[in-house]
């Protein structure tokens, strides 16, 4: 299967990221590291949080561009994004999972004339840069958990595809999106509960989408739901 790969990530950075931000207790009120998590049954039988890895969609294209040109823009084309492969690596079996969105704290700009960072800080900064390049980082414009929309993906030509809305539009509800109730736990820490059970066999992803950002071509946090 041929795949269009635009962005790659350091294997070492990926292993370190998953090792340090893997599983947390679902009822823990301590804010987890920035990212999107989902509840899964742990080894002891209790619910734990598992981090959903983020990545850039590997294909971005427009659908209906010809009609848009022929109608001089009266009919808008749709922006489509695709994730490589028909299934996500992360698999769930719970049709009513709880999700957690943890946003990063704002950091002040560096002080002019400050000494260079120590090696450990530089290594951390390099790891963060690798995350940003791969799409496995939280967008700076996110304000609440509601800025992330859960979408059921469609399988097209062996890839998982999402309709990100009309070209030139800003924000709005994405096609095949699933509404979620939001619970604020603390500053930058939110729980999301889907209002309807997810469908077994479905492929899903979170996309960043708010009133100021259409989100097309950004990051996707994908998972699939298997039958129990």
37 in any annotated domain:
no
Q: What pLDDT band is residue 30 in, cutting at 50, 70 and 90?
A: confident
> Is the model's pLDDT at 20 over the cut of 80?
no
pLDDT confidence of 28, banded at 50, 70, 90? low
Domain presence at residue 1: no
Of these ranges, 23-27, 61-65, 174-178, the one predicted with the greatest mean pLDDT is 174-178
Choose between 133 and 29: higher pLDDT.
Answer: 29
**Which domain covers residue 74, as residue numbers?**
49-103+120-225
Residue 115 within any structural domain of the chain: no
Among 13-22, 42-51, 144-153, top mean pLDDT goes to: 144-153
Q: What is the pLDDT of residue 21?
A: 39
C-alpha triplet 6, 92, 36: angle, nearest 5°: 55
Q: Is residue 114 part of a domain?
A: no
Asked if the model's pLDDT at residue 127 lies above 70, the reply is: no
For residues 40 and 65, the model is more confident at 40
DSSP 146: G
pLDDT of amino acid 19: 34
pLDDT at residue 25 greater than cutoff 80: no
| Mean per-residue pLDDT, 126-155 | 80
- Provide the whole-model pTM: 0.73
Query: What confidence category does residue 164 fall into, taking pLDDT thresholds of 50, 70 and 90?
Result: confident
Q: Is residue 5 part of a domain?
A: no
Most confident of 31-45, 61-75, 92-106, 203-217: 92-106
Structural domain count of the chain:
1
Asked if the structure places residue 109 within a domain, the reply is no
Give the Cβ contact number of residue 170 at 10 Å: 12
Q: 125 in a domain, yes or no?
A: yes
Between these two residues, 114 and 91, which has the higher pLDDT value?
91
What DSSP letter does each residue of 93-124 carry, written as one string?
Answer: --SS--EEEEPPPP-PPPPTTPPPPPHHHHHH
Percent of the chain with pLDDT over 70: 58
- Domain assignment present for 174: yes
What are all long-range contacts of 5-14, with beta carbons under 8 Å and residues at least 24 apart?
Answer: 5/58, 5/84, 6/56, 6/58, 7/55, 7/56, 7/133, 7/134, 7/135, 8/134, 9/130, 9/131, 9/133, 9/134, 9/136, 10/130, 13/126, 13/127, 13/130, 13/131, 14/130, 14/134, 14/136
């Amino acid at each position: 299967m041929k795949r269009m790969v635009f962005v790659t990530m350091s294997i070492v950075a990926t292993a370190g990221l998953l090792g340090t931000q893997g599983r947390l207790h679902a009822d823990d009120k301590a804010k987890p590291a920035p990212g999107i998590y989902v509840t899964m049954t742990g080894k002891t039988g209790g619910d734990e949080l598992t981090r959903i890895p983020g990545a850039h969609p590997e294909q971005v294209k427009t659908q209906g561009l010809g009609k848009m040109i022929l109608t001089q823009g009266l009919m808008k084309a749709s922006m489509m994004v695709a994730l490589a492969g028909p299934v996500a690596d992360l698999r769930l079996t719970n049709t009513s999972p709880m999700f957690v969105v943890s946003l990063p704290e704002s950091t002040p700009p560096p002080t002019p004339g400050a000494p260079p960072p120590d090696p450990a800080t530089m290594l951390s900064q390099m790891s963060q840069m690798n995350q940003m390049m791969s799409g496995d980082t939280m967008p700076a414009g996110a304000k609440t958990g509601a800025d992330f929309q859960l979408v059921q993906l469609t399988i097209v030509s062996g890839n998982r595809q999402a309709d990100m809305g009309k070209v030139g539009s800003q924000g709005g509800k994405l096609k095949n999106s699933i509404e979620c109730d939001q619970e604020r736990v603390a500053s930058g820490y939110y729980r999301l509960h889907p209002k309807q059970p997810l469908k077994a066999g479905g492929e899903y992803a979170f996309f960043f989408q708010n009133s100021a950002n259409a989100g097309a071509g950004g990051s996707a946090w994908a998972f699939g739901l298997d039958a129990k």
